[in-house]
Structure 1
């Protein structure tokens, strides 16, 4: 039977400062999409509100715009998928084997408190299925509680975009919170690569997380490995 993947993208278009645009970091979606598509698996896009997911402009410039993301940009059918994402209320979690949170700074604003995404994530996790996240996508796991009231991330090994990387990216002062510290405060066993912006992925049972955009390929491949095993 084919596997089904639920890819999560953001609806947010700017920082608190409306003059600072943001959105989905496209390659974090496309590398996962390509890895899953290569297996012949079905994929769906969902966002906290449904509808349009805008793109992070910084990710669309050389050298950050890689071949995978460029191919998506040049494919009208793929771009149309980002104009009409599903809302959580339209999703039956029982239909999916994986929920996979993509990143971009936008995710910091609308992922953590989406009750719809929390409902889906809780169901998928408690059904013995896979939860994945790359870069800022892990913000979607910050506040997800299981049926017993415990946070999903408590005592779980994971990674995600580090505070040092926020500082080096020059945007730390504009962030609504320190995601790395928030994860630690929730009892997560957070780790990161020795050097910023290099590929780093953590697999803890059925939880797969990647640190940054450079981890997108490895994170998706780790999910593929879990599903195939």
Structure 2
């Protein structure tokens, strides 16, 4: 099996616009794909819009949601050091990757959707028939990607992402930039959500892979590895 190259993109944003709460990367949405790729001996690059530090959402470190794999990585100084010195999108935009993976966390709602470098990278990835994956709020990074023909990349596709009821359960619906579920539907997608909120749900449509919420992190990693090995 050839070694694969995976680019994981994380946020640089550490608080909501209101300043009421801290936010950032949702840790498990990075650790599971990172762990799975490491086990395969694949090459992993972690990048962010600006480069440098990616803050970790403190909510993702709470005992109820901090799973074993995430805990192990969080306690690993080398891994945490890697998160303080991510590459910028400009540094990696001309590289070729087998998979571009957008990790989530509410911070991504601020610095993913309108990033033109990210849009270009995702368009080229998709048009080269390579995998583009996104989980939870990271799916917002797919919203404004247009193909060479001017159509939205996700139009007509089966897609999932953090839904509005989950936003209510997370007590963040009055804080977020926008309603991700509604924004996705405006793009003419087929929105696929789990029957039970906050449970794992991963949707594959061709080379687009999306995960609904943090509880999809483990399954998402498995699915991405499976699709890359096809």
TM-score, normalised via structure 2 length: 0.97
* 1: CA distance, partners of 2:15 / 2:129: 35
* 1: CA distance, partners of 2:117 / 2:5: 19
> Contact (CA 8 Å) 2:159, 2:192: kept in 1 or not?
yes
Deviation at 1:109, TM superposition (A): 0.9
Give runs of aligned pairs for residues 138-153 of structure 1, distance below 5 A: 138-153=139-154
Q: Give the match for residue 4 of structure 2.
A: 3
Give runs of aligned pairs for residues 28-67 of structure 1, distance below 5 A: 28-67=29-68
Deviation at 1:71, TM superposition (A): 1.1
Q: Give the match for residue 176 of structure 2.
A: 175
> Contact (CA 8 Å) 1:210, 1:219: kept in 2 or not?
yes
Deviation at 1:39, TM superposition (A): 1.2
> Contact (CA 8 Å) 2:15, 2:24: kept in 1 or not?
yes
Q: Give the match for residue 74 of structure 1.
A: 75
> Contact (CA 8 Å) 1:8, 1:99: kept in 2 or not?
yes
SS of the counterpart of 1:5? strand
Deviation at 1:148, TM superposition (A): 1.2
Unpaired stretches in structure 2, ≥5 consecutive residues: none
Q: Is 1:203 aligned with 2:208?
A: no
Unpaired stretches in structure 1, ≥5 consecutive residues: none
**Which segment is superposed worse, 176-185 or 66-75?**
66-75
CA deviation string 1:117-168 (max 9, x = no partner) = 1111111111110000111110110101111111111001010100000011
Query: Paired residues, what number?
Result: 229
* 2: CA distance, partners of 1:38 / 1:72: 14
Give runs of aligned pairs for residues 116-135 of structure 1, distance below 5 A: 116-135=117-136
SS of the counterpart of 1:44? strand
Deviation at 1:94, TM superposition (A): 4.3
The change in CA–CA distance for 1:93 and 1:187 in structure 2 (over 3 A counts) is farther
> Contact (CA 8 Å) 1:47, 1:87: kept in 2 or not?
yes
* 1: CA distance, partners of 2:37 / 2:127: 22
- Flag as ranges the 4+ runs of structure 1 deviating above 4 A: none
Deviation at 1:95, TM superposition (A): 2.1
SS of the counterpart of 2:204? strand
TM-score, normalised via structure 1 length: 0.97
RMSD between aligned alpha carbons?
A: 1.0
* 1: CA distance, partners of 2:193 / 2:30: 21
> Contact (CA 8 Å) 2:93, 2:117: kept in 1 or not?
no
Q: Give the match for residue 165 of structure 1.
A: 166
